[in-house]
């Protein structure tokens, strides 16, 4: 279980709060990207970026020119959030409309990843997070590309998750109204891969592209494999 602090405790709809690491990790692993919030010179910023979880670490990556990464690498407090929307909840009253969702929040201070081996493993993990199996084929980063990429590591010690599931929660007085109510399920699905025009003839579309989906599946590297 992640540390349950005053900052990480769910206050609005506390019954939706989830604090088990298994639930938090599952949300972080399924989400393709996160939003990173921080404050610099009394000015708040929220920036989207790609993340990956490896064991108890959350890695964030981007350009050295990124103000966000420069500031966070100095030890600024950070809040990382991810959200997965699972459905549109339509109630009989406008007041009770909602979304079914799963979200996670990680709080702490990130460190700059300086060690070359850790940085390479983190970038491999980022690619595998986005598209499992891709690093077995793609060329690895050259030294100048590695230098042009910043990686931050944030320990998942202070975190929580929150989720809403199920049908609309209408007031009893509205139940008999002749209005449809229910849930429209949503899921992220991939279309057919679109081959770039300069790919040499005879190079087939790999199975991980034709079978792409956003869930942890058989063949996706485990934490210990990415941490080697």
Backbone angles phi, psi at 96, to 5 degrees: -95, 10
pLDDT tens sequence across 76-102: 789 999 999 999 999 999 999 999 999
What is the pLDDT, as a whole number, of residue 1?
Answer: 60
pLDDT tens sequence across 96-148: 999 999 999 999 999 999 999 999 999 999 999 999 999 999 999 999 999 99
| Cβ–Cβ < 8 Å for 103, 131 | no
pLDDT tens sequence across 138-178: 999 999 999 999 999 999 999 999 999 999 999 999 999 99
Where are the chain's structural domains? Answer: 14-84+102-164
- Please give the structure tokens belonging to residue 37: 């919030």
Q: Check: CATH 2.30.110.10 for 14-84+102-164?
A: yes
| Residue 174 DSSP one-character state | G
């Amino acid at each position: 279980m992640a540390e349950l602090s005053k900052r990480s405790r769910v206050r609005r709809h506390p019954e939706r709060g989830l604090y088990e690491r298994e639930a938090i990790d599952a949300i972080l692993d399924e989400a393709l990207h996160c939003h990173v919030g921080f404050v610099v010179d009394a000015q708040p910023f929220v920036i989207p970026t790609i993340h990956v979880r490896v064991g108890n670490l959350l890695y964030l990556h981007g350009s050295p020119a990124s103000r966000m990464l420069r500031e966070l690498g100095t030890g600024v407090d950070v809040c990382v959030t991810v959200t997965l929307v699972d459905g549109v909840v339509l109630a009989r009253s406008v007041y009770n409309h909602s979304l079914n969702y799963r979200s996670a929040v990680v709080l702490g201070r990130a460190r700059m990843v300086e060690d070359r081996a850790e940085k390479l493993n983190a970038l491999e993990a980022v690619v595998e997070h986005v598209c499992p199996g891709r690093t077995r084929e793609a060329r690895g980063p050259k030294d100048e590309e590695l230098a042009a990429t910043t990686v931050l590591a944030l320990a998942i010690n202070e975190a929580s998750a929150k989720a809403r599931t199920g049908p609309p929660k209408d007031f009893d007085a509205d139940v008999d109204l002749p209005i449809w109510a229910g849930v429209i399920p949503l899921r992220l699905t991939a279309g057919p891969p679109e081959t770039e025009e300069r790919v040499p003839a005879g190079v087939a579309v790999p199975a991980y592209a034709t079978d792409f989906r956003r869930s942890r599946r058989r063949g996706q590297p485990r934490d210990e494999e990415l941490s080697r």
